[in-house]
Amino acid sequence: MRRLLREPLGVFGLSLVVLVIFGAVFADLLSAYDPTRINPRVRFQGPSGDHLLGTDQLGRDLFSRVLYGGRIALFVALVSTAVSLVIGIVLGLIAGYGPRWLDNLMILLFDSMKSFPTVMLALALVTIMGPSLTAVMVVVVLVTVPGYARIIRTQTIAIKTSEFVTAAQSMGASNGRILFKHILPNVIGPLVILASMDIPVVIAIEAGMSFLGLGVRPPTPSWGSILNDGFSSIRDTAWIAIAGGLPIIITTLGFTFLGETLRDVFDPRLKGR
């Protein structure tokens, strides 16, 4: 933490991440309006003391909708990334430590999953499951698991012939113990850093699906649905689009700067000093 706080970009990124998380967690206390309440008398108002980010085409308070939309975005990002990490770690360890035929089969599976375009995959799943948060999370898991599994596989192949692994094998340790006690702690570091940098990508996927009407259903607030409202009403006011795009930009910058700094802290050689 001390090394992280010495880096200006790390402090900046951490501050943005804390700001987004704080706004999502304490949305009930920070917002004075119901994010789904319609009030046509105040529609298309600009930022003011009553409405910090203005109102949309239905008179709903945009500041409240942004805060509550942060809950949706962070929930999808954190849960989906955690599930993807677990599945990717298990599959990557099996592929890297298992026999050659199993490794080839797993690589074929990873490449097949990675070859599907994200939009087409989202359309197919939404057709089957219907627009929902569950569909968004399934799309995210299917898109991100192959990358995590490939990284773990490569690290496992590089480390499974190390002396400490050979020593554990000679002492009669089971394959499960070798994988999770000896190999996993030495290969998971880069993956955690990569996952932190992938969180804004997941948030962008959720926002994009909601923008297209494939994510959460109205009137549930989502940054993507706010952007869609702003796009539809761009001739009347630009504040709706700004309110929907600004939190995505802040979140992307925060997690990207934080992930870059964490990478440098854990491996100073990557800084090129």
- Which CATH number is 168's domain given? 1.10.3720.10
Structural domain span for residue 173? 11-34+54-271
pLDDT at 273: 47
Alpha-carbon gap, residue 80 to 234, rounded angstroms = 32
Any domain includes 43? no
Any domain includes 47? no
pLDDT in tens, the chain (273 residues): 787 788 888 889 889 999 999 999 998 888 888 888 888 888 888 888 888 888 888 888 899 999 999 998 899 888 999 999 999 889 988 888 888 888 888 888 888 888 878 778 888 888 888 777 888 888 888 888 888 888 888 888 888 878 888 888 888 888 788 888 888 888 877 787 788 888 888 888 888 888 888 878 878 888 988 988 888 888 878 888 888 899 999 998 998 888 888 877 766 555 544
Contact 252, 197 (CB under 8 A): no
Residues in Cβ contact with 249 at an 8 Å cutoff, skipping those fewer than 6 apart: none
Any domain includes 129? yes
pLDDT at 268: 53
Any domain includes 256? yes
Any domain includes 211? yes
Any domain includes 42? no
How many structural domains comprise the chain? 1
pLDDT at 187: 80
Any domain includes 25? yes
Any domain includes 44? no
Contact 248, 20 (CB under 8 A): no
DSSP secondary structure letter of residue 91: H
